[in-house]
Amino acid sequence: MHAVLERVVCQIESELGGLDAETAQLHPKDLAYKWSAQQVIEHLVLGYRLTSDALDSRLKKGRLTRDRKRTWLQWSLQLMILTFGKLPQGVPAQTETTPTPHHFAAMNGAQLSRLLRDEIEQMDTLLDGCRRKFGMERVTRHPLLGPLRVDQWRRFHVVHGYHHLNQLRSVMEQVAPAAVPLQLTSKNLVKKMQVPAQRPLA
């Protein structure tokens, strides 16, 4: 896997470590419209599959997408996302990448990590194939950004991955908060151990 994608995957995997399947299904504040940890991963996986299908189609046809021109809006979005690394706020996920109930079986953190890595590795293999066949041409279209080169596809998935890494961290903080370590002081040590602060003299 390309190093830029590997870094994102490793950070996501570290967030999923030790997560059980039950907690992975919990919604922040018990609000169903807020994605669970598993749904965040499902969204990423569906995005990788969508990209893989588009790349595989180009390779099988042996030619680039015919429409390789960008609109002014697509150029602006590419500048914002690919150059400055910022995703626009308030843009809903595509229908094809929106998690739906029971599309995937309930999984724990280790299983979600394996699923994520398998899908992104398949996508990256297809990106390598397109790079060898088509060079630095715009190979296929993104639904919002328009036609992208192989390096631009990787850049998009890096920015998109970090965006949802932050979302995943927020979800985990709400559904599985880390235990706060006990700060031992002279006062709470006495209270916790229920011993007198000073032993009487014999």
- The model's pLDDT over 170-182, given as tens digits with 9 standing for 90+, comes to 999 998 766 556 5
- Range 164-190 average pLDDT: 74
| pLDDT beyond 60 at 191 | no
Contact 112, 24 (CB under 8 A): yes
According to the model, what pLDDT value does residue 90 have?
Answer: 79
According to the model, what pLDDT value does residue 91 have?
Answer: 81
Domain boundaries, the chain: 3-193
Name the pLDDT band for 202 (thresholds 50, 70, 90). very low
- pTM equals 0.83
Residues paired with residue 86 on neighbouring β-strands, in sequence order: none
Name the pLDDT band for 57 (thresholds 50, 70, 90). very high
Length of the chain as a residue count: 202
User: CATH says 3-193 is which class?
Assistant: mainly alpha
- Terminal-residue alpha carbon distance, the chain: 71
According to the model, what pLDDT value does residue 18 have?
Answer: 87
- Range 59-86 average pLDDT: 89
According to the model, what pLDDT value does residue 101 have?
Answer: 85
For the chain, give the mean pLDDT: 88
Per the structure block, which two tokens stand in for 193?
Answer: 């151990």
- Range 155-159 average pLDDT: 97
H helix or E strand, kind and range, residue 77: helix 72-78
| pLDDT beyond 80 at 197 | no
Contacts of 103 (CB under 8 A, 6+ apart): 42
- Range 48-64 average pLDDT: 94
Which one has a higher pLDDT value, 89 or 39? 39
Contacts of 62 (CB under 8 A, 6+ apart): 133
According to the model, what pLDDT value does residue 176 have?
Answer: 78
- What is residue 131's three-state secondary structure? helix
CA angle 26, 52, 12 (to 5 degrees): 35
Which sign does the torsion angle of CA 14, 148, 125, 135 carry?
negative
